[in-house]
Structure 1
């Protein structure tokens, strides 16, 4: 149970892999949402699905270009009930998870990755809003709280 007092080293590859994991989950989730929605909800879910598929492919390509093996999607993910309110909340949750991974990717020293992260974070926030999510002061941070919320200098 050894713990280190220094934070883990940031790795572009690790951050890309985390974002890819979120995209795999979103693709799976939006397929489920679309299959159990009707009307505008179904259209919105398929629009979101297409955006996440494209993002997933971009991340995979970037990892391959960096000679890394892209992580595969899980064989299954936890899914909500089929009720409209649950599906809508689940969609907003998928976007929030994506936001968190793109916020991490924004720490890259690579300008192209920072740009990708910023654009992807913005797109995820907009999609979350279309699913009834709310605007937070710091998108991507848990509970929308800033980077130092609740922490003192000695923490």
Structure 2
């Protein structure tokens, strides 16, 4: 697979080679949509002094969404659409619940980006995935601490823990 920007046609880079990568990018886009929606709930349940962190996290997911929309469109792939609403999995009744939801959102995004890394055929896609995966884990560390979860870090973000 050509990583140096040169073109070539092999079994790994033929016309169907991008399909798994594009499907994984679609999953990452869906995770970004869910995170954007979920951070609206998080922001409503945290104290005012925490809201700038919520806005920053939400904007990070908006930026990733926009980058994915551009990337998929440039590949002539119709991007998936956002859902009207998402299942929260648990009630958000306190600031701790909101932080736990933020952890869930970031871990969902990390899982999607790990899948992108697994399916990536292009160097640029891998670089995007590593950057996004790193950013999700950095945000998750902050939210895990606020949710009272330990450990606050994950050795291999996006992979199952068991």
TM range (shorter): 0.7 to 0.9
State whether structure 2 residue 32 is matched by structure 1 residue 23: yes
Distance in 2 of aligned mates of 1:67 and 1:102: 21
**2:23 aligned residue (14, 18, 37):** 14
Distance in 2 of aligned mates of 1:66 and 1:109: 13
Instruction: Mark the runs of 5 or more structure 1 residues left unpaired by the alignment.
Output: 1-8, 146-155
Structure 1 outlier segments of 4+, above 4 Å: none
State whether structure 2 residue 96 is matched by structure 1 residue 96: no
What is the deviation of 1:73? 0.8
Determine which structure has greater relative contact order: mean sequence separation of CA pairs < 8 Å that are 6+ residues apart, divided by chain length.
Answer: 2
TM-score of the two chains, using structure 1 as the length reference: 0.82
Aligned to 2:56: 47
What is the deviation of 1:81? 1.8
Distance in 2 of aligned mates of 1:141 and 1:12: 18
Aligned to 1:33: 42
TM-score of the two chains, using structure 2 as the length reference: 0.79
Aligned to 1:62: 71
Instruction: Mark the runs of 5 or more structure 2 residues left unpaired by the alignment.
Output: 1-16, 146-151
Aligned residues: 136
Distance in 1 of aligned mates of 2:155 and 2:110: 13
> SS at 1:78's partner residue?
coil
1:55-134 correspondence to structure 2 within 5 Å: 55-79=64-88, 80-107=91-118, 108-132=120-144, 134=152
Q: Is the 8 A contact 2:35 2:61 kept in 1?
A: yes
**2:157 aligned residue (139, 151, 155):** 139
Tell me the C-alpha RMSD between the 2 structures.
1.5
